[in-house]
Amino acid sequence: MSAAAGQVAAKVGEMGLSKEQADAIMALSRDLIERVVWEVVPVLAETLIKEEISRLTK
């Protein structure tokens, strides 16, 4: 995730924004990424676990 944050920071730096504006965008980006991860990863993990259980019990 630090590589992605670095890429976002580089893009934000190219926008000519003030440090405060850039920091706000980075904070929003982190928040959005965290929300997506918390919504997607548990569902994906559950699916993978169920598939593995099904495979092992056949």
pLDDT tens-digit series, residues 4-56: 777 777 887 788 888 888 888 888 888 888 888 888 889 888 999 999 999 99
Range of the domain at 11: 2-56
Number of structural domains the chain divides into: 1
Q: Which two tokens stand for residue 46?
A: 């559950």
Radius of gyration of the chain (CA): 18
Instruction: State the pLDDT at residue 57.
Output: 93
DSSP-H helix ranges across 1-58: 2-13, 19-56
Contacts of 8 by beta carbon, 8 Å cutoff, 6+ apart: 25, 26, 29
Mapping DSSP onto H, E and C, the string for 31-44 reads: HHHHHHHHHHHHHH
pLDDT over threshold 60, residue 1: no
